[in-house]
Amino acid sequence: MKQTLPLLVALTLASQAVAQCSVDSTFAQSGPGLYPQGPMSPDCDLLASKTVVGITDTTIANPLGGGDEVTVYLTGIRINAILGLPAGLTLETDVMDSADEEGQWGYWYNSGSVPEQNSALGCGHVVGSTADWEAAAGGGPNNDGVYPLEFTIDAYVESTDNALLNQFLQPQWLSALGDLGPGAFVVFDTLVILPGFNTIAASIIGADNADAGSSYIYSTDAIGDTYDWTVTNGTIVSGQGTDSIEVVWDVTGQVAVNAINNACSGADTLDVTVINTAMAEASRTRTVVFPNPSEGLFHVLLPDDGSVDVRILDMNGSVVRTERSSGRRSLQVDLRNTPTGMYILELRSATGVARECLVRN
């Protein structure tokens, strides 16, 4: 294929490509090649990406003989082939919209004009479904998750600095030059897919000893898009779906999180021991107490208007106050004349016994 597209058109095609890889411009001055150097592995977008840096010129022995060297000016590159990809995984680039039969992954063209050019800068990635990546994990020639890759790279020859050679040379791809040139060249790389590649580290940060009825903050250091929290024997007051939640504990229980970042996930659990669990039984009604903590006045919303025996106990189990509520859906508990600290509100009705922790500030 001859280079017939003006630079502006080529850049327009590149900008229209629907690609998910990102060009890392920090490699712009790194010389021709695929960057970063070293193995590539799938990320949480199920992409294994490389930044592509083009080549502007190279020096070869004069194919016409004479022992001198010739500078060959190259204005674009393309990928002719890739060998070694696991089944189900494919290569895509940010210039796929410029692809044709000769360049199925598109073309990267340098900016500027010969001989003063700036290397083309683009990107490519290996992509596949979660199932494809998982099937390839731990495979490869040595069953260690390492896949050697070979990229056949072609470059477009615009001209040389040898006037005589230019008379024989038409602008064309290196692979078409035959005996007049070195042909396309091979770049070796490595794709590493280890089992658990889509697992992210997650740990819960927060108290593992708590007071019944008090609220505690739990967070995770996992980097995720969404967070799913579950709490056993406690209530999530706020924060569900974020990286931090507030929990009010009833009895000894557990907090767990599952952090999700696209195709990756990570989970952790934390066992929490709640003090005075013997008094904070799991059997509960839909009783609501507010405010809690309080300076001494607590409002209690009862689940029904039946007869309820109310007892207030201190943390030693001694009864501080008793009363009976009948035909009311709410009551007020006054602890303003009691010392600050924690108390147990016990409600006995025909439907059972419920206990809530009160915090007197």
* DSSP character string of 44-63: TTSEEEEEEE---EEEEE-T
Nearest-CA neighbor of 345 among 283, 295, 300, 282?
300
User: According to the per-residue pLDDT averaged within each range, which of 132-146, 204-218, 237-251 is highest?
Assistant: 132-146
pLDDT band at 179 (very low <50, low <70, confident <90, very high): low
**pLDDT value at residue 170:** 84
CA angle at 132 for the pair 131 and 135, rounded to the nearest 5°: 80
Domain-terminating residue out of 275, 308, 324: 275
* Residue 1 domain-assigned (yes or no): no
* Residue 27 domain-assigned (yes or no): yes
pLDDT digits 0-9 by tens, 286-298: 678 889 899 999 9
- Statement to judge: residues 61 and 101 lie in one domain: yes
- Statement to judge: residues 312 and 235 lie in one domain: no
Identify the CATH number of the domain in which residue 294 sits. 2.60.40.1930
**Alpha helix segments (H runs only) across 181-290:** none
pLDDT band at 2 (very low <50, low <70, confident <90, very high): very low
- Statement to judge: residues 307 and 216 lie in one domain: no
- Statement to judge: residues 132 and 71 lie in one domain: yes
**To the nearest whole percent, how much of the chain has pLDDT over 70?**
89
| Domain carrying residue 263 | 204-275
Is pLDDT of 356 > 90? no
pLDDT band at 258 (very low <50, low <70, confident <90, very high): very high
Is pLDDT of 267 > 90? yes
* Residue 23 domain-assigned (yes or no): yes
**pLDDT value at residue 281:** 39
- Omega into 303 within 30° of 0, i.e. cis? no
**pLDDT value at residue 218:** 95
CB 168 within 8 A of CB 159: no
* Residue 311 domain-assigned (yes or no): yes
Is pLDDT of 146 > 70? yes
CB atoms within 10 A of CB 80: 19
- Statement to judge: residues 296 and 271 lie in one domain: no
- Statement to judge: residues 230 and 127 lie in one domain: no
Give the residue-averaged pLDDT of 118-129. 96
Give the residue-averaged pLDDT of 168-187. 76
Looking up tokens 């005996």 gives 179
pLDDT digits 0-9 by tens, 307-343: 888 899 887 677 899 988 887 778 889 999 999 988 8
**pLDDT value at residue 304:** 67
Tally of domains within the chain? 3
**pLDDT value at residue 25:** 95
* Residue 280 domain-assigned (yes or no): no
Domain-terminating residue out of 275, 298, 329: 275
Domain-terminating residue out of 131, 164, 192: 192
Identify the CATH number of the domain in which residue 250 sits. 2.60.40.10
CB 138 within 8 A of CB 144: yes
How far apart CA 165 and CA 69 sit, in angstroms, is 11
pLDDT band at 3 (very low <50, low <70, confident <90, very high): very low
- Statement to judge: residues 182 and 219 lie in one domain: no
- Statement to judge: residues 42 and 162 lie in one domain: yes
- Statement to judge: residues 253 and 309 lie in one domain: no
**pLDDT value at residue 224:** 92
- Statement to judge: residues 39 and 166 lie in one domain: yes
CB 256 within 8 A of CB 267: yes
**pLDDT value at residue 9:** 32
* Residue 188 domain-assigned (yes or no): yes
The answer to which of 110-124, 224-238, 270-284, 340-354 has the lowest mean pLDDT is 270-284
**pLDDT value at residue 1:** 33
- Statement to judge: residues 167 and 97 lie in one domain: yes
- Statement to judge: residues 85 and 138 lie in one domain: yes
* Residue 197 domain-assigned (yes or no): no
Q: What global pTM score does this model have?
A: 0.66
* Residue 283 domain-assigned (yes or no): no
